[in-house]
Amino acid sequence: MNRSIFLVGPMGAGKSTIGKLLAAQLQLPFADSDKVLEERTGADIPWIFDVEGEAGFRRRESEVLRDLCAGPTQVVATGGGIVLLEENRQLLSQQGQVVYLQASIEQLLERTSKNSNRPLLQVPNPRTRIVELVEERDPLYRQVADIICDTDYCTPKQAAQMVADKLMSGVSP
């Protein structure tokens, strides 16, 4: 692998969990863009959203992505909204292989239900919000994807193996 691998998809698709396993399997470093952002700012994502709003968060997220793209070849788990900005979509497409991890609404809801560190889901009806986010972002994930993997009905280890197999075989979406 001489290009970084960027995992995109909605929150709860498994980007961080699968990314760590994939990186270990491919013997590459792993980075989680949200964790990098939190380490740089010394603040968690909900706090950044509260203080700077989504626009401030997205600006910081883009800075982190640019830096990760300039770094070594690695597996990068991105935030679910990284594809919202055109400049990010261009960077992802130009700088590495992009894997879209998708999952059903039911799986996304189940996987995110116990995590309060997701500002966009702090609403009365998280299911409705997940549906809205997926409808808005799915075309953007598909636009940048070199590979699409469905993470429903498989363990993180199985999903990481599926991604690795597709990367090695050069399968397109």
Give the total number of structural domains in the chain.
Answer: 1
Structure tokens, 15 = 């980007």
Cα–Cα distance for residue pair 8/31, rounded to 1 Å: 13
Which residue did the predictor score with more confidence, 171 or 55? 55
Cα–Cα distance for residue pair 9/83, rounded to 1 Å: 9
Domain that holds residue 52: 4-169
* Counts of helices then strands in the chain (DSSP H, E): 7, 5
Q: What is the DSSP letter of 99?
A: E
- What predicted TM-score, i.e. pTM, was given to this entire model? 0.90
pLDDT digit string, tens, across residues 15-73: 999 999 999 999 999 999 999 999 999 988 888 888 998 899 999 999 999 999 999 99
Q: What is the CATH number of the domain that holds 71?
A: 3.40.50.300
Task: From 4, 1, 13, select the one nearest 134 (Cα to Cα).
Answer: 13
pLDDT digit string, tens, across residues 112-141: 766 555 555 566 677 788 888 899 999 999
Which residue did the predictor score with more confidence, 1 or 29? 29
